[in-house]
Amino acid sequence: MAAAADGSAAAATDLAEYLVRGGLPFREAHALVGSLVRQSIERRVPLAELVTTEPRLGDDALALLEAGQSVRMRSTPGGAGPDPVSRQLRAAADRLEVQSAWFAD
């Protein structure tokens, strides 16, 4: 799972969102990033290389391709990032403790 999450293609949504924050309509951002990912796979060129040469992305977007960055950005409650998962695990442990105490009585 870690290898898949750390793959540069996993950051495709983050790259599209980056473009949308810059004012590009999502449909165009999705098409552009999809094209870059496809080129990366077909031409066997690192996605980072294509991102840096794309004028609408460039070096500023490279941070989105760093290992684990895509997962770390998932910070909403119930999300897959480290903080929400830690909160979910604590809540589950608390519920388990209550249930265990109930069964022990």
pLDDT in tens, the chain (105 residues): 666 666 666 788 889 999 999 999 999 999 999 999 999 999 999 989 999 999 999 888 888 888 666 666 666 677 766 676 788 888 898 888 888 888 887
- Among 73, 11, 2, smallest CA distance to 36 is for 11
Range(s) within the chain of domains with CATH label 1.10.40.30: 2-73
- Among 29, 27, 25, 28, smallest CA distance to 64 is for 29
Please give the CATH topology (third level) of the domain spanning 2-73. Answer: Ribonucleotide Reductase Protein R1; domain 1 (1.10.40)
Burial of 64 (0-12, 13-18, 19+ CB in 10 A): buried
What pLDDT, on the 0 to 100 scale, is given for residue 22? 92
Q: How far apart are CA 5 and CA 23, in angstroms?
A: 27
What pLDDT, on the 0 to 100 scale, is given for residue 6? 63
Burial of 94 (0-12, 13-18, 19+ CB in 10 A): exposed
- pTM exceeding 0.75: no
